[in-house]
Each structure stands twice: as structure tokens, then as C-alpha cells.
Amino acid sequence: MGSREWDSSADAETGCVRRRVARFEDGSIEQTEDWIASEVPIAMSYNGEAHVVMLATPMDLQDFALGFSLSEAIIASSSELETIRIDQRLEGIEIGMQIPQPRAEAIAARQRNLSGRSSCGLCGTQQLEDVLRHPPTLTAAIAITADAMHRALNSLAAAQPLNLRTGATHAAAWSDIDGSLQLVREDVGRHNALDKLVGAMTRQAIDVQRGFLILTSRASYEMVQKSATVGIGLIAAISAPTALAIHLAESCGVTLIGFARDDGHVVYTHPQRIVEQDT
């Protein structure tokens, strides 16, 4: 059998490993060790049928499995995810899930069997309809102040231990309406981090109508699609959105904010949900 393609000694709680490096700085060379973010193939299957392989950080995998299943509309609620089995393989990790048979048949009908990348979870989708899946329009969403959003943003960096160690990961975070961070999940892939957050929020019964989402990445179409699918109505991204993401957010009733940083932010859709100052 072949050698391992990933290091199983990677701590599932830290998501990183130590590697020897040559550090060049100020004209000198130092032989040292550095923390490197783990990135491994994670295969997901439903009812024994392979569905997708994602490259992801091997931590918070229970959250990942549940969040992916919800944000991709494979299941409608956590109660439909009957079992989750996580197995270590030579080449990576396999997550086997059991769902109601009608749901499994719906997956087959969509004919979606994709190989995901850490940068794009839609790569390999076979049908245009699968890419442009339109979530239900959100009819209710909370309003927040700009001050609350920036309070959450200012506390986010310290809540990313994996990125502080490696400098290589994205985060998806959930804040309450007052700007207090409630949950953070990290991954080398921005959409993986979001799926992990969705799974964690669902497992902890956090109300998506009582807070807002923060992304340390750009707001792509898929990020808006996943968020709207699970009922998140307000997204603040540190980087820019794409035109297709703005179009989807507008049509789905999602408030989309980009360039959310210390010195300001840009509201692209449904600005009525942002109040500029605390009252």
C-alpha cells in the first residue's frame, strides 16, 4: 500500500503540524521549525454513495459534516442527519453519513459529484442549475449598529488561534447583535470554515435571527448562497463581494457588507438593517 499523503499526527484540535524551515530575515538564515496549517482530502458520502471530496483542515469534522449537509440543502434539518461516521484513510479522511433515503435519491437526481478545492467549493459541479441554486427569500432579519459590527471585527483576530499560528486560514464567525463573538470556526478553505460554523451553530441551537456572520474572505456567490440557505440574513466580509454574490443577496433579502474593516465598510444590499451609531 502507498505511503500517507497527509500527516495523521496533525492535532485535530489545532489543525496544524510542525515542519522544518529555513527562515531568511535581515540577511541571515535560521534553521528552525514553523507551524503549518493542515490541508487533507476529506471525502463525504451519503448512504454509502460518494458525493464530494473537499480539501480542508481536519478539525471540527462533526460540525463540517452537518454544516455542509445543511448549507448545500442536502438535508432540511439536523434531525435528518441520522449518523456521522469519520474514518481515517491512507490518503485522507472519509466522512460517511446516513440520511433519509428520499434525500439520498434527490442527491443522485442532481447528479452532483464534485472534487472541491480549498478556494472554491463549486468546482466540478455538473449542472448549471446546481451552481445557481436559489435559496428561499428571507423575509425577516435583525438590524445592527455599525458600532456593533466593528466591535465584533476588532475581536476576531484574537479568536483565530490557527491563523495566529500559521497565517494560512480563513475564519467564519458568528456575533450577537451587540457585537460579541459567539462562535468562530477556521479552515484553509473559506467555504469550509462557513460550513463548520453553520454546523456548530446548529448543534448549539443558536438562532440565526439573533446575530450576524463575519467572513475573513471575499463574499463570493457560494458564501451568500450557503448563508441564505440556512437563514442568515446579514453578512459582513472583510474583503469584497463579487457581482453575482451581490445579485443573489439582493434577490434573497440578505444584507451584504464588504470591506468591513477598522476604517469603515461598504453596504451593497438592503442597507436598512445597518444603523450607523449606537443609540
> Which residue numbers are catalytic?
120
Cβ of 194: how many Cβ atoms within 10 Å? 30
Q: C-alpha grid cell for residue 40?
A: 487533507
Which residues lie below 8 Å from residue 109, measured CB to CB, with a gap of 6+? none
> Residue 156 is inside which H or E element, if any?
helix 146-156
Are the beta carbons of 79 and 203 closer than 8 angstroms?
no
The CA radius of gyration of the chain, in Å to the nearest whole number, is 19
Q: Beta strands of the chain (E only): which ranges?
A: 16-25, 28-37, 40-46, 49-56, 83-88, 93-98, 114-115, 144-145, 170-176, 181-187, 211-215, 234-237, 255-261, 264-269, 274-275
Cα–Cα distance for residue pair 210/225, rounded to 1 Å: 19
Three-state SS for 34?
A: strand
Cα–Cα distance for residue pair 245/227, rounded to 1 Å: 11
Which residues lie below 8 Å from residue 159, measured CB to CB, with a gap of 6+? 171, 173, 181, 184
End-to-end CA distance of the chain: 65
b/e per residue 226-242 (b: at least 16 CB within 10 A): bbbbbbbbbbbbbeebb
Cα–Cα distance for residue pair 130/222, rounded to 1 Å: 11
